[in-house]
A and B are shown apart, each in its own frame.
Chain A
């Protein structure tokens, strides 16, 4: 079916984003002219038709097994990440800005990691409190003095961005350990191209399907020198990991084996994989396993997922790991507050994408402010991921606020606080028609010798009305993210 262009329809006519910045319409001050054609085409669609196509997509995602696993007390269930078919659109100009901002941030974080594992100038100069770094449970003393290729530690970075009600993008969080979600970026695009060829046609959307090549290039670049044709593998915790689909996806896109810890063995500080013909050398590992599980000899001794002795092989330079060990100290929620100062310190630049205003509760003033304004703030534990343990002041009950207050007082350094960011919204298909839902954006950056940013990223959408939490584990879905080519309307 093709979309009759310009046919009047009320599909979007009753849509009202309220006070929030809207990704498809923009705002009064910043109207989204670049989405005019897309809005026109969407308006030409009939709601039932839209729903029918949305259902086709969900069935196809399930049949293809593009799923993640949700663990409950009783069993493990395959779930698809709900997919909303109305795209989130980014103009060429906006993207130029975001790309520069993400690149700047990755560069600064890599400089930071190299510094703290070598001369520690930033600590000596008092820019970041020493104990925040050395006392961080993700700081790895094993990395001190170790050189890694191109001084790159974070080869794959996911930067969580949100957009406030003025349309300003801000960094909410850095993910420099094992960020996930990129497989959905690529699969969402495939899905849109299959189900909405009439919407996608001639818009001029930057492609996303070369992510695997870029990742493989970086993995080859960082392989030990002197190896002609390095063997790259992806190390997965296995089929029971909730992100297993992504591991499959990336291994396939790179054309490399997906291995588990039990497939690898270390002999004489060299890593090998077990093949049908005995042991074969491995040179470069994209690991989707946290530091703690990587080597039972060096870290968590109970880990059955890792490879005993791999740290020694790594330290000898016989194998490359991406991301490097010990990057968790750079994406810590407390260290996050210092990233703008880090950018200034290492690059002598202002942060291109600002942080969300953040208070570090380990600082007495900040703690007091947080306690005084608890009902207005978002309080986050620094060590958690996936949206767990967050208290959103304006939406919390009295009991929840009291609980939060008690936790803050008991262990202030475990928390940061931020004002509630009025996340931007995007028209989304719901049971009650097209309604605004909050979205964020996670661009992905790959760094070997240089940094490359995948155009767009993962747009997560909070499907429940009014909720701000977009995490898949908490009822979030995703949207295809379109970065328009330069010169396109």
Chain B
């Protein structure tokens, strides 16, 4: 049974945008919590930095206040990284896929999008933000559940998984980066009550707190938390777990469905996985977590390009072709 290249691409991006929306809701929720502490409202700017949106943000807003940042990431239609834009893109992909996906999948995304469209800034005033973020998370999880229960298991399912796990790996690196990039503790604060509570919040925002406690009942240190989020083999949002899933999905697409493309993507996944497994977390922290996370994100971007070329009928960039000739 053939799968249209365009469908595969739409499935991949629908999965990515739903996953991304869930993670943005998590990030906003985490920040809502952080901004309550002594550091005050300045923290909101870190989300803008995290997504490298500074230029776009300042083209329409004067100052990064709680209101402006929340608006920018919730409702700003010109911001392609706002929840509304993500849902619009997810819905457009779902719309293109309506002949393929279940009616229930489509209806849920359609209704979710329409509800978000009907919301206004006052619905997300900071006292309501956490509630709204929870709602968004739940809608995204509903999507995941409906997908699991209704998506026909053929090639399309694997492209869905691929999109989901690439996005999730990317987002976990970003969440981890919030803590390190912008909330970098001064040496005095390491191990302080505030520091511990921030790590707890990061873990809670990935729904990983209780699992972490089980694995490390006694110690909460940057090393153990970062190590857990990057490498844990049982935590569904850990980067290694995601990359292993991607690896499995690619292998199955090439064996079960005999897809000819994807050798290059396969190689990159193998390299990424061995790179992740070869360095102890202590060494990573010593040499700079931020740089390490950046490198991982770059690998995931390159992987996306290679997948698009292999399966979605996308042309290789001209420059690369010219080099190889």
Contact B5 A274 (CB under 8 A): yes
Contact with B along A257-299 (1 / 0, CB 8 A): 1111011000000000111111010000000000000000000
* Residues on the B chain within 8 Å of A248, using CB: 98-99
Q: How far is the CB of A107 from chain B (nearest CB, A)?
A: 32
Size category of the binding interface on chain A: 20 to 34
Q: How far is the CB of A276 from chain B (nearest CB, A)?
A: 4
- Using A65-B95, A239-B92 as known contacts, say yes or no to A277 and B6 having CB atoms under 8 A apart: no
Of the stretches B106-114, B229-237, B244-252, B288-296, the one at the interface is B106-114
Q: Which residues of chain A from 423 to 457 have a CB within 8 Å of any chain B CB?
A: none
Q: How far is the CB of A219 from chain B (nearest CB, A)?
A: 15
Contact A252 B155 (CB under 8 A): no
Q: How far is the CB of A255 from chain B (nearest CB, A)?
A: 9
Interface centre among A65, A251, A273 (most CB of B within 10 A): A65
Contact of A275 among B3, B95, B98, B110 (CB under 8 A): B3
* Residues on the B chain within 8 Å of A64, using CB: 103, 106-107, 110
* Residues on the B chain within 8 Å of A275, using CB: 2-5
**Any B CB within 8 A of the CB of A2:** no
* Residues on the A chain within 8 Å of B311, using CB: 276
Contact B110 A65 (CB under 8 A): yes
Q: How far is the CB of B120 from chain A (nearest CB, A)?
A: 19
* Residues on the A chain within 8 Å of B103, using CB: 64
Minimal Cβ-Cβ distance residue in A for B94:
A65
Contact A262 B6 (CB under 8 A): yes
**Any A CB within 8 A of the CB of B258:** yes
Minimal Cβ-Cβ distance residue in B for A234:
B99
Report whether over half of chain A's contact residues are helix, strand or loop; otherwise say mixed: mixed
Count of B residues near A, CB < 8 Å?
29
Interface centre among B3, B6, B311, B312 (most CB of A within 10 A): B6
**Any B CB within 8 A of the CB of A13:** no
Contact A252 B6 (CB under 8 A): no
Bound form: Cα–Cα A273–B8 in Å: 13
* Residues on the B chain within 8 Å of A231, using CB: 2
Bound form: Cα–Cα A262–B96 in Å: 13
Q: How far is the CB of B274 from chain A (nearest CB, A)?
A: 27
Contact A276 B99 (CB under 8 A): no
**Any B CB within 8 A of the CB of A14:** no
**Any A CB within 8 A of the CB of B48:** no
Contact A252 B98 (CB under 8 A): yes
- Using A64-B107, A65-B106, A252-B98 as known contacts, say yes or no to A259 and B4 having CB atoms under 8 A apart: yes
Contact of A263 among B5, B98, B110, B155 (CB under 8 A): B5
**Any B CB within 8 A of the CB of A72:** no
Beyond A64-B106, A276-B5, 18 additional pairs, beta carbon < 8 A: A63-B110, A65-B107, A65-B110, A234-B99, A239-B92, A239-B95, A257-B7, A259-B6, A263-B5, A274-B6, A275-B3, A276-B3, A276-B259, A276-B261, A277-B258, A277-B260, A277-B261, A280-B2
23 A-B residue pairs with Cβ-Cβ distance under 8 Å, sorted by A, are A64-B106, A64-B107, A64-B110, A65-B95, A65-B110, A234-B99, A248-B98, A252-B98, A257-B7, A259-B6, A263-B4, A263-B5, A273-B2, A274-B4, A274-B5, A274-B6, A274-B313, A276-B2, A276-B155, A276-B311, A277-B2, A277-B257, A277-B261
Chain A positions within 8 Å of B, measured between CB atoms, are: 62-65, 231, 234, 239, 244, 247-248, 251-252, 257-260, 262-263, 273-278, 280
Chain B positions within 8 Å of A, measured between CB atoms, are: 2-8, 92, 95-96, 98-99, 103, 106-107, 110-111, 114, 155, 159, 253, 257-261, 311-313
